[in-house]
Structure 1
Amino acid sequence: MTAVDELRARLRGVIAPTVTPFAEDGELWFPGVRRVIDFLVEADVTAIIPGDLIGECLSLTLDERRALIAESVQAVGGRMAVVGNAADASLQNAIDLGRFSRKADVDLIKLGLPYPYTPAAATMLDMLRRIDDAVDMPFLVESSDALTIPLEVIASLCERPNFVGVEEWGSDIGRMDRLFSEFSRRLVVLPSGEAALLFLCLRGAPGLIAAEANFAPRFMSEFLGASQRRDLDRALALFGRRRRYRDLFREGLARGVPLFTPYAKAAMAILGLPVGPPRPPLAPLTEGETARLREVLRQEFDLLVGGA
């Protein structure tokens, strides 16, 4: 088994795209980073992605993204895999972040399309090849409804030994079925989002990527286990409970606002793991929103919460 094969085998179970803790002055809060990682290790999370979308990558400077990657690797200390987020609208920034991630000893990097652009398939492939040529380490790519990576691009990338997986958070069932049928023996197919999470976990995905893993990792592990056992009733029941949490901010998601970040941060604070507020333009929850969230955590996730 090659090193890349071993890495594919590790990308299973619950993977957490971690929130980014901030101090009261808005600066990165590294003690909070370490606390979050220790919590996730204890909950048997298998990998983290620091500085992803839920980690407010669009509000971080390049220096902060580098510092967050380095601190996360050090805090993990080999206890789980670390995915360095090198996705960036700038090709050179993506290369720089990838090279830094490699020097920081991450296990692999994550690449994406140059948000908010949607380049032609040939341009996508050229960009991803350039990054791989420059960085030369294992990578996975992210595909979504807004920035979909065509299956023919994925097929071409399979010629590259460093290409190990796809994070899929689209909603096209036909595409997801083809993706899994045609590539799951060669790649690790990891669902995220909503439709992809349900379909691909039931289809046999070895793991999942979920924002809720920041505060309810064992709940997400139970959902994944039920899906893998083909316990449809249990999997659908758990998925419905997760959906009721996401209903709290679904309207914001429809407007393109990543409200899963302030909600995840508020949930962690309620559960005794404060990570500070989100950075503008995101805002903390109101008292009313926090009260509704507290009730959902109690009723749907069976989490012990403090306060009224």
Structure 2
Amino acid sequence: MTYASSSAPPFGRALCAMITPFTEEGALDVAGARRLATHLVAEGCEGLVLSGTTGESPTTSDAEKAELISAVREAVGERASVVAGVGTADTRHTIALALEAEKAGADGVLLVTPYYSRPPQDAIEAHFLEVADATALPVMLYDIPARTGTRIAPRTMLRLAEHPRIVAVKDCSYDFLGTQQVLAATDLAYYAGCDEHNLALYAVGAAGCVSTVANAAPRHVRAVLDAFDTGDTALAARLQRRLTPLIDAMMAADLPGTVTAKALLASLGLPAGPVRPPLRAADPETTAGLRTAYDHLIADRPLPQGSPPW
């Protein structure tokens, strides 16, 4: 199989930004996390990103994050990469989480831009370099200015790319030109972090995607990349368009993807549980709309069952 990017992606191509399952009482559901991780990998996910935005990292404790990594690592073994979100607004805390993720069995760490304090570009660069120097794991930077208040400027990304352990970027910048500029000038493996960009970014040389929608439709998300890799770009486009109503329902409903993903997973009988405050559960009408979009996706010339499409 050939990849769209110039070299094999460091964490695979089709990654899921996995939700963190909780029990009905709100505790970490370790058994549920194992079951969901196993299901996602069996359905085609080549990597799982834990404790990111979709994984409710702001409301899980350091101990829960480490326990989640260990549980998922045990469940999937070496069949998929495990990338642990460790980014915080505090450099010292981020380093501590990165070291714990390494001990717990992660294959890499996801570092979000420090939020709230809105550091200038030189401080952002220093933060990432200090964390990358402190861990032996490869690093995926997470550029999501809509949530952090500050983006990683392309010129900063070019300098960060020189660090041997900074190997990838989860791109939610919504700056397609800036992304292409960095792709053209570095070997960074870019991953689309917004599902509507999965195919577009892959077509210009990205490594793959870190998908929230893959929590519910992992086979369909991966099928887009597989079709492109076989050279059937028309099929890839059709498959991406088939996903669009579900992407819209999950990611453009004025609700965080965590809320919509958990509502849909619960309706499918998969581990999810409640969201933690201040997030609130999706209402019945929203949940019904999510399930309708999912059912239409599955009913519209469904992917082959019994054997995976890759």
Counterpart residue number, 1:180? 183
1:14-163, aligned counterparts within 5 Å? 14-146=14-146, 147-163=150-166
Matched, 1:290 2:291: no
Counterpart residue number, 2:3? none
Shift of 1:156: 1.6
Counterpart residue number, 1:245? 246
Counterpart residue number, 1:219? 220
Whichever residue aligns with residue 125 of structure 1, its letter is: E
Shift of 1:8: 5.7
Of 156-165 and 119-128, deviating more is 156-165
Shift of 1:49: 1.0
Q: Is the 8 A contact 2:66 2:101 kept in 1?
A: yes
TM-score by length of structure 2 reads 0.86
User: What CA distance in whole angstroms lies between the structure 1 residues aligned with 2:129 and 2:16?
Assistant: 26
| Cα deviation digits, residues 130-149 of structure 1 (max 9, x gap) | 11222232111011243321
SS in 2 for 1:49: strand
Whichever residue aligns with residue 67 of structure 1, its letter is: E
Alignment CA distance shift 1:43-1:219 (3 Å): same
Alignment CA distance shift 1:39-1:224 (3 Å): same
Shift of 1:237: 3.2
| Cα deviation digits, residues 149-186 of structure 1 (max 9, x gap) | 11222222222211111111222221122122222xx2
Shift of 1:296: 0.8
User: What CA distance in whole angstroms lies between the structure 2 residues aligned with 1:100 and 1:139?
Assistant: 14
Shift of 1:98: 0.3
Q: Is the 8 A contact 1:219 1:301 kept in 2?
A: no
Shift of 1:11: 2.1
Unaligned 5+ runs, structure 2 = 1-6, 303-310
Counterpart residue number, 1:206? 207
| Cα deviation digits, residues 7-32 of structure 1 (max 9, x gap) | 96442221011111111111001110
Shift of 1:58: 1.2
SS in 2 for 1:82: strand
SS in 2 for 1:48: strand
SS in 1 for 2:50: coil
TM-score by length of structure 1 reads 0.87
Among all aligned residue pairs of Structure 1 and Structure 2, give the percentage whose two residues are the same amino acid.
Answer: 28
Shift of 1:289: 1.7
User: What CA distance in whole angstroms lies between the structure 2 residues aligned with 1:252 and 1:266?
Assistant: 13
Q: Is the 8 A contact 2:140 2:170 kept in 1?
A: yes
Q: Is the 8 A contact 1:169 1:197 kept in 2?
A: no
SS in 2 for 1:37: helix
Unaligned 5+ runs, structure 1 = 1-6
| Total equivalences in the alignment | 292
SS in 2 for 1:78: coil
